[in-house]
Amino acid sequence: MADTAVAQPFDIGDLRREVEAHPLWYHTIELAPGLVTPGWFDLRPVVAGMPWPDVSGKRCLDVGTYDGFLAFELERRGAAEVVATDIGDPSGWDWPLITRDRGTRAVTSTAGGKTGVGFQIAKRALSSSVERVEASVYDLRPEQVGRFDVVVCGSLLLHLRDPVRAVEAIRGVCDGSFLSAETVSLPLTMLHRRRPAAELKGDRNCQWWIPNVAGHVQMLVAGGFRIDRRSGRYAVPFGPGHPAGHGRLKRLPQRALARLAAGGVGVPHHAALATPR
């Protein structure tokens, strides 16, 4: 189902109340001067360092958009058209069987029962023309969404039981460039710099595979892409809404490792720009 809402003028006070009332912001987005969403993660300090292709005048797709940070970034960079896809109901996520019911209930109570609410608030505030379509990455088909000059996907593969199948589906709608920015394991990257490897989690946080840098690259290659450019390792900072003390990287040894191996405190990432083979 496509989002066809037209942006309407807003009052800054009303917008602030909307932002504060929304129970879960994943992305930290500046919606107006002095008004920033309390996201769990803040891509703003690192987005410029990703290996972006030229998106000017291009038709672009953001896969797994959530609150839409990367979709709005594509628009800001001059894309002619941006489509953003995501699953609307958390019950459709790739939950492990043993935590499926509990995980769905937890996200439903925390996030307000449905994804896309934050996206709609941000779209209206930014007067954006990005179109949001409810669709799983596994189900991407040219007859459903068309084909795209540029596709981006950020921090999604770790949440998928079959990330290579997802990459293949992305390849099926990508005519030009694919920018994949993904969570990576620093310990595995340090231990195996050239050999692809991944940690299998299958946990209550709906995380499955955390690859090393070589593993991230191999996922893209196995899914039918050729690597053109890559970033170094970098850390996506925690945003103002991130739960205090959440995650192992909040602990002192992990913070030190993150600073040493990823240049900062946050979730270690690697980005690659690829084209279909």
Q: Does residue 3 form part of some domain?
A: no
Average pLDDT, the chain: 90
- Of the pLDDT bands very low, low, confident and very high (cuts 50, 70, 90), residue 11 is confident
Lowest mean pLDDT among 38-52, 84-98, 149-163, 164-178: 84-98
pLDDT 10s digits, 190-228: 999 999 999 999 988 899 999 999 999 999 999 999 999
Mean pLDDT computed over 19-44:
96
In a domain, 5, yes or no: no
**Distance from C-alpha of 174 to C-alpha of 152, rounded to nearest angstrom:** 10
Lowest mean pLDDT among 21-30, 45-54, 89-98, 242-251: 242-251
Domain membership of residue 243 (yes or no) is yes
State how many domains the chain has.
1
What's the pLDDT band for 2 if we cut at 50, 70, 90? low
- In this structure, are residues 28 and 248 in contact, taking their beta carbons and an 8 Å threshold? no
Distances (CA, A) of 86 to 72, 176, 200, 242, 259: 15, 21, 24, 21, 32
- Please write the tens of the pLDDT for every residue from 106-136: 666 665 567 899 999 999 999 999 999 999 9
Higher pLDDT, 261 or 30: 30
123 lies in some domain: yes
The answer to whether position 224 is within a domain reads yes
Q: Is residue 72 part of a domain?
A: yes
- Digit-coded pLDDT (tens) for 47-69: 999 999 999 999 999 999 999 99
pTM exceeding 0.75: yes
For position 255, which CATH number holds? 3.40.50.150
Whether 217 is in a domain gets the answer: yes
Query: Is residue 2 a part of any domain in this protein?
Result: no
- Spatial distance between the Cα atoms of 236 and 46, rounded to a whole number of angstroms: 7
pLDDT at residue 8 greater than cutoff 70: no
Q: Which domain holds residue 47?
A: 12-276
Q: Work out the burial of residue 141: count CB atoms within 10 Å of its CB; fewer than 13 is exposed, 13-18 middle, 19 or more buried.
A: exposed
**Model confidence at 91, in pLDDT bands (50, 70, 90)?**
confident
Cα–Cα nearest to 115, from 133, 100, 137, 142: 133
Q: What percentage of the chain exceeds 70 in pLDDT?
A: 85
Question: What per-residue confidence (pLDDT) applies to 265?
Answer: 78
Residue 28, classified by CB atoms within 10 Å of its CB into exposed (0-12), middle (13-18) or buried (19+), is buried
